[in-house]
A and B are shown apart, each in its own frame.
Chain A
């Protein structure tokens, strides 16, 4: 069996940044990824990456903005660490080759973003994620690190002592199922946007790593906090960057009114994302939208600025909505975008399961708390890719390979055989996915009401039964996407259940989680994390609470959050 000191799952920004730490430490590190690294969803991040690099800005202010943005439920030790590290990693990426946009004097340019008290978002036009991803891939190629490309992890394997032993992996290209042994495993598998039907996320964002961690006994944190991006395109949900508002774009309703002043009189369109999304949803619900959307108006920015700063946005609007933002406003609506929750870790990315680590959107470190600020996710991926990577390298140094229980491989082979050989009586995976994802959108969206949530929660046992009957049309070994979708669907069901149970339990409104029956924040009872565990006996999710990690900074004491 193949073995490595450290196996990283996922080759987005976090995974690749972590891998580079492995190369630096001189350990045997490998990356397993279900898509080619350049297809990773980090490439879709558009607007930018926050860092206090301007001499007039301070990392402490960035940290304060982030604590406030998190609605006082982010872990303050991790937030301090991230914001202090931010300027360092920007200059590192610059040296590695990222072509950041520049000011007239040649310094890295910065634009304003929502919820920030300083213009601290560095960018490369409106394709910041893409250039960062390509830069790290270039370094990955340079390092010669082994990448298992188009290989899907099917299971996280623990040894008898509870320490990680390795992974069971499915090679998409050949259909081969095999084990890989590792002294440490770092999950950097991104978010779970496909739990919802309308999402800015790629179709490959199925939160696999989170689901495997959950089933392996490592809890997920704060899964009820799902970020709705204020500007997803009406039809497809494709992202329109917050940078569009950062560059001066307005939000207008069907009556042409620039409505944000009624909700956030100081920051208007650049209030925090949860605030803007709720404002838009209210406008739509009160009948001031058009076909379920309001509008992003860029016309006043003028042709030149749109072409220079937001060229990709213009093309997307043309291609996908048939609207040229130079002449007409773009129809947009709040759309599922980001998972604040994830695999619960300490501030170095270590999980309670020994030998297991997580970074990036897959993790809940937690720097985003109940609401992530725009420009902080790219930052999170690179900072914690680096920190967690280095920490994991140090950890595996003192470890030996554990015995790998080989029955896990035969069990996965049997699971695949059984799935393929089912009679064509049940649904196709796509149909069951559609049912669940549509219900998640309807009952666990921007506004959450108790009756709908209870209906949704009650559906999960039904869907799990249905899952046992789904059938595959594709029985082949090579590139069986039908099979992958079926495997991913179980992961989505697990995560959907964590989200709805968390949302039902949290009887308050905080950040992205808004209960119409509990419209206020309740710090006394709920300034706490939710932990979701997998209960093997009942085959369901159970919850616990956990205290947040504070640093005793009086500035960080909870206050009313206004923008």
Chain B
């Protein structure tokens, strides 16, 4: 491999008055082979050029979760990201994680993230639903979520957290799934009820970014979808999220096409829908209000047969962790 020069353009953040942060970008030049990790090079800069450059790190082997930062636009673990894989024309842009307050330079305040993890009761509870004996395959479900190292890459990239800071977020929900799927957990139903509430598992917009950025193949969104399925299975359907899902199910099964005209009312209820009148008028003005009358698509009979078959023999949506691939 050949050594080349890279420019690290690093966002420097200094705490200012009452929570405000003053930011500027600073360039550093480093010599490295393409397979050198970003963390190694940050250490090189700190040790040899500028000791004031601040970032968190510890294990260097992608297991402690300290060094997640934004590298070339994506939140990644600095210790497992090769400079050659992320540099564009020799330039690497580095910034702190998103969706969280900044303490200094690349170090963010981790407390809001962990407060949400604490809120889902991240511990096994005794209760009526605890199973006795554990089988050899009992943890196949638990395993992919226990790979989570709480690095917050997913939380940093989460598009829903960006617009709704109260949303529980992918890491905490994946952790919740870890307990819901553990045969030893005694209060699975109680958990599902709690997670069905506002800002919980139904707030995810399924953008899949959390799955893409997770460095440990946890696939938080898959865990969220499984939580939803199990929540509905337990009868927790009286909320906007599950009603929305049921309306989809009903329409596709009946006509093969979504009835968007009635969808909002079925999701939000009459009063909820009335609150959106302004939006409806706005849409009407632009000619975007769909027809209220159901339209049956061609081959709807076949669609219904697919539904019936799936209801008799459900597809196993449970997946194991994906195989790791190099970056």
Contacts and interface: CB of A to CB of B under 8 A. Distances in A.
Interface string A112-149: 00000000000011010111001000110110000000
A134 B52 CA distance: 32
Contacts of A38: 64-65, 149-150
Interface residues of B, number: 58
B60 A474 contact: no
A129 B284 CA distance: 59
B57 interface: yes
Interface size class of A (residues with CB under 8 A): 35 or more
Contacts of A258: none
Interface stretch (A95-103, A223-231, A453-461): A95-103
Interface in A73-91: none
B58 A41 contact: yes
A204 interface: yes
Contacts of A324: 326
B51 interface: yes
Given A38-B65, A202-B64, A482 B51 contact: yes
Contacts, number: 152
B122 A138 contact: yes
B59 A41 contact: yes
B118 A96 contact: no
A106 B60 contact: no
Contacts of B40: 236
Interface string A471-486: 0111110111110010
Contact of B46 (A96, A106, A430): A430
A474 B59 contact: no
A245 B56 CA distance: 33
Interface stretch (B134-142, B263-271, B273-281, B302-310): B134-142
Interface stretch (B103-111, B192-200, B240-248, B291-299): B103-111
A106 B64 contact: no
Interface stretch (A291-299, A314-322, A497-505, A513-521): A314-322
B136 A428 contact: no
B165 interface: no
A134 B14 CA distance: 33
Interface in B49-68: 50-52, 54-66
B286 interface: no
A44 B149 contact: no
B66 A35 contact: yes
A434 B327 CA distance: 30
A71 to B, nearest CB: 29
A223 to B, nearest CB: 23
Contact of A320 (B37, B123, B147): B37
Contact of A482 (B52, B62, B135, B182): B52
Nearest to B46: A430
A105 interface: yes
Interface in B120-178: 121-124, 133-136, 138-139, 142-143, 146-147, 149-150
A381 to B, nearest CB: 16
Given A39-B58, A318-B324, A479 B51 contact: no
A241 B11 CA distance: 37
Contacts of A124: 146
Contact of B139 (A41, A99, A134, A307): A99
Nearest to B55: A481
Contacts of B60: 202-203, 236, 238
A204 B55 CA distance: 13
Contacts of A473: 50-52
A286 B148 CA distance: 43
16 contacts: A36-B66, A36-B110, A41-B58, A99-B139, A102-B136, A124-B146, A203-B58, A236-B40, A318-B324, A319-B80, A430-B47, A472-B51, A473-B50, A475-B52, A476-B52, A481-B54
Interface of A: 35-36, 38-41, 43-44, 95-97, 99, 101-106, 124-125, 127, 129-131, 134, 138-139, 141-142, 173, 202-204, 236, 238-239, 307, 311-312, 314-316, 318-320, 322, 324, 428-431, 434, 472-476, 478-482, 485
